[in-house]
Chains A and B, each alone.
Chain A
Amino acid sequence: MNEFVVALGWFGLYAPVALGAIGSAWGCALGGSAAIGAMLDSDGGYGRFIGVSLMPSSQVIYGIVIMFSLQQSSVDAANGAALFGIGVLSGFTMMITGIRQGEVLASAIHASKAKPEIFGISLAPAAVLEGFSVFALVFALVLAGSIPS
């Protein structure tokens, strides 16, 4: 049983990075595809399209930060379950917010191409999703401090 909990602990330790990377990769691919399409139909402003399409890359960075905050001198039965719970749930949050952020960014790029004046405001939903990722990051850090070492 202890070995199983230890395995879960290691799983939870790496989950924020792995799931965050999946979310970032997926989100950036969605946003990037929209940016590439928009560039075909624009005579300028390519930088801003590419720039916003990279917004979901923050999720993997948050995942790395969470992983370091969860890192213990040893993973054992005492802390394995906590590492698993915090790591997997925060990792899933990073993955989902990354993917969804990519989707709303694609919509924002598409809409702002037709109506350039809404470019700034169209990024608001993506910013809100970023906020949710930050919530998950901050409270993962808070809880990481109370894991028995």
Chain B
Amino acid sequence: MSRPHQYISLVTSFPHLGKLFTRKEVPISQFRLKQRLSMLEDEHARLLRELVEITAWAGVAKYDEDVEVIARAKQVMEDLRDYPDLQHLVGTRMETRTLIAALRRRHAGQETAGDIAAWGYGRWCGRIKSNWSDPAFGLGHFMSWIAEAHRLMRAGDHIALERLTLTEVFRQLDHYGALHEFDFEAVAIYVLRWVIVERWSRYGEEAARTRLQALVSAALRGNETPEPIAGGSDFLSDRTPSLEGAS
């Protein structure tokens, strides 16, 4: 298939994902999605794998250090040099992660940003460092979600925090998605959206599994009633590296 027609067929074969948080399950399974993506050329398939690896949390979880994630992100951006919008998307995502990481570090009691170059990425590192005590790191006038994330983190409302960050990431994807309809970027943005929707759909499943395990344990122990689930507190737990936060 020639390239423009290839992307038209591929993009129109994807089901509509709808708005975030409105679906309980993904409209296309991973198996089917991979099957459709086999229409991609080898080079584009490789770039897409790299893009998903660096933007999805599951992809960066294998790195022990934040520096490794940052180095990998820079390498992926270099590989995406022919697709500036995807480069911006990766950059924006890394910046979002940096902001979440900063919020988490501050929430954990860190008094200064420290060596932010070792764990942060992007345009806002200097601003974060110099406005460490400000709830929104001095960025609240054009990124109002940071102050809201700070409030939710302090309140321990991890589900709302996750919703907020995913909404912000989805908004970034919508912004770049509006610029592309039938090209590689459109396919990549669809897949990134799918990853978020799929991740959110799994949260419910995981929470249900945890709840079931708690009920089974309680039953085995006797009639003790298990603690109610406090909004899936593991979602953004401190056990995760600081760059975690936005799928």
Contacts and interface: CB of A to CB of B under 8 A. Distances in A.
Interface of A: 29-30, 33-38, 40-41, 106-107, 109-110, 113-115
Contact of A30 (B8, B10, B13, B36): B8
Given A30-B8, A110-B181, A37 B16 contact: no
B166 interface: no
Interface in B1-54: 1, 4-6, 8-16, 28, 36
Nearest to B27: A41
Contacts of A106: 8, 12, 182
Q: Which 5 A-B pairs have the closest CB atoms?
A: A37-B12, A114-B16, A37-B9, A37-B13, A40-B13
A38 B182 contact: no
A115 B181 CA distance: 16
A34 B16 contact: no
A38 B12 CA distance: 5
B9 A33 contact: yes
Given A30-B4, A41-B15, A113-B16, A36 B181 contact: no
A38 B36 CA distance: 12
Size range of the interface on B? 10 to 19
B195 to A, nearest CB: 19
A38 B15 CA distance: 9
B177 to A, nearest CB: 13
A110 B12 contact: yes
A69 to B, nearest CB: 33
Given A37-B11, A106-B182, A30 B5 contact: yes
Contact of A109 (B5, B12, B16): B12
A34 B8 contact: yes
Contacts of A38: 12-13
B5 to A, nearest CB: 4
17 contacts: A30-B4, A30-B5, A33-B1, A33-B6, A37-B8, A37-B9, A37-B13, A40-B13, A40-B36, A41-B13, A106-B182, A110-B12, A110-B181, A113-B12, A113-B15, A113-B16, A114-B15
A38 B9 CA distance: 7
Nearest to B10: A37
A107 B88 CA distance: 25
A126 to B, nearest CB: 15
Given A41-B12, A106-B182, A110-B11, 13 more contacts: A29-B5, A30-B8, A33-B5, A33-B9, A37-B10, A38-B13, A40-B12, A40-B36, A106-B8, A107-B181, A109-B12, A110-B12, A110-B181
B204 to A, nearest CB: 24
Nearest to B7: A33
Interface in B76-112: none
Q: Which of B8, B13, B181 has the most CB of A within 10 A?
A: B8
A30 B7 CA distance: 10
Nearest to B16: A114
Contacts of B5: 29-30, 33
Contacts of A114: 15-16
Nearest to B186: A110
A113 to B, nearest CB: 7
B211 to A, nearest CB: 34
A57 B11 CA distance: 23
A36 B9 contact: yes
Contacts of B11: 37, 110
Contacts of A113: 12, 15-16
Nearest to B181: A107
Nearest to A107: B181
Contacts of A33: 1, 4-6, 8-9, 12
Contacts of A115: 16
